[in-house]
Structure 1
Amino acid sequence: MHDGIGGVWSYVENLISALGELDKQNTYIVFVTRHSQCLVPDQKNFQKIVININPLNPWCRILYENTILHYDGWKYKIDCFHWFANVVSLFSVVPGLVTIHDLLPLRNPGSYSSIKHLYLKIMLNISAQRAKVILPVSHATALDVIQILKPKTDKLHVLPVIINDTFKPSQGGEIKKFKNRYKLPDKFWLYVANFYPHKNHTRLINAYADLKKQEGAPWPLVLRGDSGQDTGTTKALIKAEIKKFNLEKDVIWLPRLASSELPLLYSGASALIFPSLFEGCGIPVIEAMACGCPVAVSDIEAVKEFAGEAAFFFNGKSISNICSAMANLQNDKGLRGKLINKGIARAKFFSGKQMVEKLLVAYKDAVS
Structure 2
Amino acid sequence: MKILYDHQAFTGQRYGGVARYFHDLMESLVDMGVGVKLSLPFSNNEYLKNSSVRRPNEFRHIFGFMPTNMLVSRTNRLNSIVQLQKGKFDVFHPTFFHNYYLNHLKKKPFVLTYHDCIKERFNLNHIDNASHAQKQELLNKAAKIIAISENTKADLLEFYQIKPEKIEVIYHSSSFRNHQLPVGFQVKTPEKYLLYVGARNDYKNFTGFVTSIASVLHQHPDVQLLCAGGGDFNKAEHELIDSLNLQTQVKHFHFQSDDTLFYLYQNAIAFVYPSLYEGFGIPILEAFACGCPVVLSNTSCFPEVAQDAALYFNPSDKEDIADKITAIIENESLRKSLVQKGFIRQQNFSAEKTATQTLNVYKSIL
In which range does the TM-score fall when normalised by the shorter chain?
0.7 to 0.9
1:35 counterpart = 2:8? no
1:224 counterpart = 2:234? no
Give 5+ residue unaligned stretches, structure 1. 229-233
Rounded to whole Å, the distance in 2 between the matches of 1:365 and 1:87 is 24
| Contact kept? 2:227, 2:251, Cα under 8 Å | yes
- The verdict on how the C-alpha distance between 1:321 and 1:237 changes in structure 2, with shifts beyond 3 A counting, is farther
Equivalent in 1, 8, 11 of residue 21 of structure 2: 11
- The verdict on how the C-alpha distance between 1:81 and 1:146 changes in structure 2, with shifts beyond 3 A counting, is same
**C-alpha displacement of 1:278:** 1.1
1:122 counterpart = 2:123? no
**C-alpha displacement of 1:348:** 1.7
1:164 counterpart = 2:164? no
SS in 2 for 1:189: strand
**C-alpha displacement of 1:51:** 11
1:206 counterpart = 2:211? yes
1:97 counterpart = 2:111? yes
Aligned to 1:155: 166
Rounded to whole Å, the distance in 1 between the matches of 2:278 and 2:305 is 11
TM-score, length of structure 2 as denominator length: 0.84
**C-alpha displacement of 1:191:** 0.5
| Contact kept? 2:39, 2:79, Cα under 8 Å | no
| Contact kept? 1:294, 1:311, Cα under 8 Å | yes
Q: Which amino acid aligns with 2:194?
A: W
1:83 counterpart = 2:85? no
Rounded to whole Å, the distance in 1 between the matches of 2:39 and 2:60 is 11
SS in 2 for 1:119: coil
**C-alpha displacement of 1:193:** 2.0
Q: Which amino acid aligns with 1:239?
A: H
Q: Which amino acid aligns with 2:225?
A: L
- The verdict on how the C-alpha distance between 1:149 and 1:60 changes in structure 2, with shifts beyond 3 A counting, is farther
Rounded to whole Å, the distance in 1 between the matches of 2:350 and 2:228 is 25
1:131 counterpart = 2:135? no
Aligned to 1:260: 259
- How does 1:325-364 map onto structure 2 within 5 Å? 325-364=324-363
TM-score, length of structure 1 as denominator length: 0.84
| Contact kept? 2:277, 2:299, Cα under 8 Å | yes
Q: Deviations over 1:37-96 (max 9, x none)?
A: 8528765xx567779999966766776687653342231522111122355544333311
- How does 1:229-308 map onto structure 2 within 5 Å? 235-308=234-307
- The verdict on how the C-alpha distance between 1:47 and 1:327 changes in structure 2, with shifts beyond 3 A counting, is closer
| Contact kept? 1:129, 1:152, Cα under 8 Å | no
Rounded to whole Å, the distance in 1 between the matches of 2:14 and 2:51 is 21
Rounded to whole Å, the distance in 1 between the matches of 2:360 and 2:144 is 11
Instruction: Indicate the percent of aligned positions where both proteins have the same amino acid.
Output: 24
Equivalent in 116, 125, 131 of residue 112 of structure 1: 125
Alpha carbon RMSD of aligned pairs, Å?
3.0
SS in 2 for 1:309: helix
**C-alpha displacement of 1:352:** 1.5
**C-alpha displacement of 1:170:** 5.9
SS in 2 for 1:308: helix
- How does 1:314-325 map onto structure 2 within 5 Å? 314-325=313-324
**C-alpha displacement of 1:322:** 1.3
**C-alpha displacement of 1:142:** 0.8
Greater shift after overlay, 156-165 or 275-284?
Answer: 156-165
Aligned to 1:231: none
Greater shift after overlay, 331-340 or 193-202?
Answer: 193-202
- The verdict on how the C-alpha distance between 1:165 and 1:326 changes in structure 2, with shifts beyond 3 A counting, is closer
